[in-house]
Structure 1
Amino acid sequence: MARQAPSGSTFSVIGSDVVIRGNIEATVDLHIDGRVEGDITCASLVQGAGSHVEGAIEAETARLAGTISGSITARELVVLKSAKINGDVHYDALTIEQGAEVEGRFAHRVPSKTGAAKPADDGEPKLTLAG
């Protein structure tokens, strides 16, 4: 279901009673309260506390509150205290609430010569807390 946000941008909602088996690609903002078994690529992702994602997430911004089994790549990432993540996390800016559970590596993304960000490859996990 797509709705018009107050700022004029469109967003889509996957309700708590919905299960999707397959990859999701969205050019709009996405709000997930249900279950997704597949990879997600979108501009902005908001995940509800009761939501489950089994697959990789790639977004410009992501606000995660549910359960994720898979890697996460986001320019701006907020991990809320109700989140349970099992997978590697690649980010430019990170905020993580006390109580969030993460089983995996954190890696700060670094700009490549083309200007696109890529995961740091020096082998050392890095964690930066955004204020």
Structure 2
Amino acid sequence: MGKKSGEKPCNTIDTLIGEQTQITGNLVFSGGLRIDGKVHGDITAQGDGSTLILSERGEVTGNIKVPHLIINGRIKGNVHSSECVELQAKAEITGDMTYKSLEMALGATVNGGLIHEAEKGTPKLKAIGASDPVIS
């Protein structure tokens, strides 16, 4: 993860939400967060190197906005990753996912749209309309 990115993912776990824990409400974190329990609310990371790890026992009902994401659990909501997403074999996402880099293992599922976010400075393609000149 993060091989082509300018910012490396956090490789430590600063916060752990245990398997028997259920949180209701929005969550803002920085550094590394591992979720083994359930979160009902939006999750947002502060810091370009922050990483969210959702274990196979973890569940999130809400939108997620983090730079680096490793998923092996269930998410019901939209996911936005400004860097990279790793979907492991038991990952289940119901919602749209925006990402810059994606790694997906056999067995992972996404029930929603996949939206690739281009690198900054990468030119966007322009559709040619009837009034635009065509070079032949």
Same fold (TM over 0.5): yes
Alignment CA distance shift 1:8-1:84 (3 Å):
closer
Q: How many Å apart are 1:27 and its aligned residue?
A: 1.6
Deviations 1:13-63 (A, max 9, x none): 000000000000002210000000000012210011011100011111000
Alignment CA distance shift 1:87-1:8 (3 Å):
closer
Q: Report the TM-score, using the length of structure 1 for normalisation.
A: 0.77
Residue in 1 that maps onto 2:4: none
Q: Report the TM-score, using the length of structure 2 for normalisation.
A: 0.74
Within the alignment, does 1:51 sit opposite 2:88 as a pair?
A: no
Residue in 1 that maps onto 2:21: 18
Which has a greater percent of strand?
1
Residue in 2 that maps onto 1:95: 103
- Distance, in Å, in 2 between the alignment partners of 1:94 and 1:66 is 16
Residue identity matched to 1:101: T
- Distance, in Å, in 2 between the alignment partners of 1:8 and 1:103 is 29
Where 1:107 maps in the other structure, the secondary structure is strand
- Distance, in Å, in 2 between the alignment partners of 1:8 and 1:107 is 26
Matched positions, count: 110
Higher relative CO (Cα under 8 Å, sequence separation at least 6) belongs to 2
What's the Cα RMSD here?
2.3
Within the alignment, does 1:108 sit opposite 2:116 as a pair?
A: yes
Deviations 1:91-119 (A, max 9, x none): 00000001111100000012567x9xxxx
Residue in 2 that maps onto 1:37: 40
Identical amino acids, percent of aligned pairs: 29
Q: How many Å apart are 1:11 and its aligned residue?
A: 1.0
Q: Which runs of 5+ in 1 are unaligned?
A: 1-6, 123-131
Structure 1 segments of 4+ aligned residues over 6 angstroms from their partners: none
